[in-house]
Amino acid sequence: MSVTFIVVLAILVALILLFLGSPVFVCLGLAGAAGIFLNDIFLGGVGLSVLQTNVFGSVSKTTLVAAPLFILMGEIIFRSGIGADLYVTISRLLHRLPGGLAIATVAASTIFGAMCGVSIAAVATIGVIALPEMLKRGYDPKLAAGSVCAPGALAMLVPPSLLFILYGEVSGASVAKLFTAGLLPGLLLALLMCTYIFLHEIREPHKKGKEELKPLTINEITRLIWGLWAPLLLIGAVLLSIYVGIATPTESAAIGVFGAYLIAFFKYRNMDWQTFTGTLQRAAKVTSTILIILVGASIFTQFLNLLRVPDACANFVVSIDISPWVTMLMVQLMLLFLGMFIDGASMVLITTPILLPTMHALHWDPIWFGVLMITNIEIAVITPPVGLNLYTLASITKEVDMETILKGTLPYVIVEFVGLLILIFFPQISLWLPNLMQ
């Protein structure tokens, strides 16, 4: 039995299980274990004897401690009501702009993502307030739905990002540098979305309500800006502590959890015992889901490494006579396709070990490539059939149907793809801030 046959058979097992509806960790774990077993039997490998050690090692690394902490921080923010205040404040400040409420939705989702790091939480929190308000003001339902659904995905790219933690763990790249690398690309994509909304509203203005044209006084503007102190302080405490080097990502996550609890307890006064325990339980469930996927992915990765599949892929890519830029575009298209069927965490854990040797062979910066991968996953969560943001928005409202959501999100898919191309051809957008770090 040849190496090629074993690899093809294992991949077929994983795909069949996936299409049968099995959990991702089962697909990866069983396919990887079967491949390792066949390799031991027919090719004289010893993978099964060290499998349990490698699996335990994959989930016991100290850098992964940041993941449950940031998840807990996101749960606290999600339940505290800070998202509602954030949207109301920004919408009041931007209400006189063409498409001001939709632009405010993008801005609020970006800031909320910088505190939360979970895209569906951003969609649910901001969407439940923003969508009815935009529809009431006469906005195009497609534009309103898209401006809630797509910006929520920015939570994956702007720090702190759970996917950057997973990518850093698998690739060996610095999580702190990945966090700072995602900041400018996240702002770039938010700016592109706002530009699209602005141009759309100039061409097809919505029906403005009288209250929308009411100007704000200087005192009102000052009061509204001062009202943003809580989210800005929390973001600053987390990101600046990493950027200036006084805290690791794990330590900054602990700072974020402590700050989020203080805000919930003393500013919003809504953190009772039931809510407190609810945040812990929900964070534990999400963390367990991610770790069990990591276990399955580590088994499958060990199988691929034993049979030297990543090295073979890298040698093949280097041997063919095409431009590295063409190779990069082909890889991005592959990631876009995979993202339509696989959730973000699974895609990072599955594809990174395979693509890592190719990255090194073509001298691609792993920080830059990580930003491109997460941007791909952003596009994936707003495209069917596994577009989690689409289903999240559909689940929180009955005012727009799935067809409207899909049509409204499509222009943002194009906007994000344009942003992805910009990030591919201008790597310094992603690398400038990380290169300033010591």
Of residues 105, 103, 116, 107, the one with CA closest to residue 156: 116
Number of residues that make up the chain: 438
pLDDT at site 193? 94
What rounded mean pLDDT belongs to the chain?
Answer: 83
> Which runs of consecutive H residues, i.e. helices, occur in 307-387?
309-319, 324-339, 344-361, 366-380
Domain count, the chain: 1
Identify whether the C-beta of residue 161 lies closer than 8 Å to the C-beta of residue 348: no
Q: Which residue has the tokens 């632009």?
A: 103
pLDDT at site 369? 93
pLDDT at site 303? 83
Examine residue 151 and state whether it is found in any structural domain, yes or no: yes
Examine residue 294 and state whether it is found in any structural domain, yes or no: no
Examine residue 3 and state whether it is found in any structural domain, yes or no: no
Examine residue 171 and state whether it is found in any structural domain, yes or no: yes
Local confidence band at 330 (pLDDT 50, 70, 90 cut-offs): confident
Query: What CA–CA distance (Å, rounded) separates 120 from 282?
Result: 14
Alpha-carbon distances of 32 from 8, 59, 209, 356, 379, rounded to whole Å: 12, 17, 59, 19, 28
Tokens of 235: 């973001």
pLDDT at site 191? 95
Percentage of the chain with pLDDT > 90? 14
Most confident of 36-40, 298-302, 368-372: 368-372
Examine residue 209 and state whether it is found in any structural domain, yes or no: yes
Of residues 148, 91, 155, the one with CA closest to residue 409: 148
Tokens of 327: 């190779």
* Mean pLDDT for the stretch of residues 32-44: 82
Local confidence band at 22 (pLDDT 50, 70, 90 cut-offs): confident
Examine residue 55 and state whether it is found in any structural domain, yes or no: no
Q: What's the distance, CA 261 to chain centroid?
A: 23
Q: Which of residues 325 and 81 earns the better pLDDT score? A: 325
> Is the confidence at residue 132, as pLDDT, over 50?
yes
Query: What CA–CA distance (Å, rounded) separates 168 from 175?
Result: 5
Q: Which of residues 344 and 212 earns the better pLDDT score? A: 344
Query: What CA–CA distance (Å, rounded) separates 116 from 125?
Result: 11
Query: What CA–CA distance (Å, rounded) separates 117 from 389?
Result: 14
* pLDDT, tens digit (0-9, with 9 covering 90-100), for 186-196: 999 999 999 99
Identify whether the C-beta of residue 387 lies closer than 8 Å to the C-beta of residue 412: no
Examine residue 366 and state whether it is found in any structural domain, yes or no: yes
Examine residue 313 and state whether it is found in any structural domain, yes or no: yes
> Which runs of consecutive H residues, i.e. helices, occur in 244-272?
249-262
Alpha-carbon distances of 243 from 68, 170, 175, 222, rounded to whole Å: 21, 22, 11, 29
* Mean pLDDT for the stretch of residues 407-422: 92
> Is the confidence at residue 239, as pLDDT, over 90?
no
Of residues 78, 69, 70, 79, the one with CA closest to residue 272: 79
pLDDT at site 210? 43
pLDDT at site 299? 85
Local confidence band at 90 (pLDDT 50, 70, 90 cut-offs): confident
Query: What CA–CA distance (Å, rounded) separates 328 from 311?
Result: 17
* Mean pLDDT for the stretch of residues 315-339: 81
Q: Which of residues 267 and 415 earns the better pLDDT score? A: 415
pLDDT at site 47? 67
Identify whether the C-beta of residue 156 lies closer than 8 Å to the C-beta of residue 377: yes
pLDDT at site 438? 58
* pLDDT, tens digit (0-9, with 9 covering 90-100), for 213-235: 566 677 877 887 787 788 888 88
pLDDT at site 214? 65
Identify whether the C-beta of residue 102 lies closer than 8 Å to the C-beta of residue 197: yes
Instruction: Give residue 399's domain range.
Output: 62-279+306-436
* pLDDT, tens digit (0-9, with 9 covering 90-100), for 162-176: 889 889 988 888 888
> Is the confidence at residue 48, as pLDDT, over 80?
no
* Mean pLDDT for the stretch of residues 76-96: 78
pLDDT at site 134? 86
Long-range contacts of 192-197 (CB under 8 A, 24+ apart): 192/415, 192/416, 192/418, 192/419, 193/106, 193/147, 193/150, 193/151, 193/412, 193/415, 194/103, 194/106, 194/107, 196/411, 196/412, 196/415, 197/99, 197/102, 197/103, 197/106, 197/143, 197/147
Query: What CA–CA distance (Å, rounded) separates 131 from 128?
Result: 6
